[in-house]
């Protein structure tokens, strides 16, 4: 649970994968030359695994002296590990586990929401459920007959949800 909180709430948040329990730890080590610390020369790293409660994949990424970027494991190595872990989810067909920690978003990060199922609802009820999204309507009537993207998709706040209406 502690290493899962590093990813959901702490320095490893750039490795967070919506709907999956990812654990990890960032690292930033200043390099040494002839017994003295080198100025501005670091090895930055991230080790991550998923699912955090029953690991199937473990990845370690270390970058020696990255240039042109803030030198921290969470900003340099964690996004690379996230890409590898995301590919592993697909390659190994890892299902979303129950539970886990939800990411607490910073003001500058995009927020993702799980799309509720509004098929069969009235337009007014669907609007209430989809308050975090833009809505486009096609068809006529006051009952939602289908939706796109489909229910339970994770989409960015403010994204467009298309509703097909009928009676």
Query: pLDDT band at 147, cuts 50/70/90?
Result: very high
Considering only residues 15 and 99, tell me which one the structure prediction assigns the higher pLDDT: 15
pTM of the shown model: 0.63
Q: What is the pLDDT of residue 67?
A: 82
Considering only residues 37 and 109, tell me which one the structure prediction assigns the higher pLDDT: 37
Closest CA to 4 of 44, 54, 43: 54
Q: Would you tell me how many other CB atoms lie within 10 Å of the CB of residue 103?
A: 17
Q: Choose the weakest-confidence range: 74-88, 96-110, 128-142.
A: 96-110
The domain segmentation of the chain, as residue ranges, is 2-92, 112-166
Rg (the chain; Cα; Å): 21
Same fold, 2-92 and 112-166: no
Q: What is the mean pLDDT of residues 16-34?
A: 92
Give me 136's structure tokens: 């486009």
Q: What is the pLDDT of residue 23?
A: 95
Q: What is the pLDDT of residue 130?
A: 94
Q: What is the mean pLDDT of residues 130-158?
A: 90
Architecture of domain 2-92: 2-Layer Sandwich (3.30)
Q: What is the pLDDT of residue 155?
A: 83
CA 150, CA 139: separation in Å to the nearest integer?
A: 17
With H, G, I as helix, E, B as strand and everything else as coil, classify residue 50.
strand
Res. 107: pLDDT tops 70: no
Does domain 112-166 bear CATH number 3.30.10.20? yes
pLDDT above 90 coverage of the chain, percent = 62
């Amino acid at each position: 649970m502690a290493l899962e909180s590093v990813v959901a709430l702490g320095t490893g948040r750039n490795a967070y994968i919506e709907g999956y329990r990812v654990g990890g730890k960032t690292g930033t080590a200043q390099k040494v030359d002839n017994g003295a610390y080198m100025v501005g020369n670091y090895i930055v790293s991230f080790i991550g695994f998923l699912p955090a409660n029953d690991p199937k994949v473990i990845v370690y990424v270390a970058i020696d002296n990255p240039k042109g970027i803030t030198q921290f494991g969470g900003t340099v190595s964690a996004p690379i590990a996230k890409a590898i872990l995301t590919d592993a989810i697909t390659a190994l067909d890892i299902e979303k586990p129950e539970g886990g920690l939800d990411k607490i978003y910073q003001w500058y990060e995009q927020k993702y929401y799980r799309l509720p199922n509004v098929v069969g609802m009235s337009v007014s009820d669907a609007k209430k459920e989809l308050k975090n999204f833009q809505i486009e309507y096609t068809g006529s009537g006051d009952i939602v007959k289908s939706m796109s993207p489909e229910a339970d998709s994770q989409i960015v706040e403010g994204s467009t949800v298309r509703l097909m209406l009928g009676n």
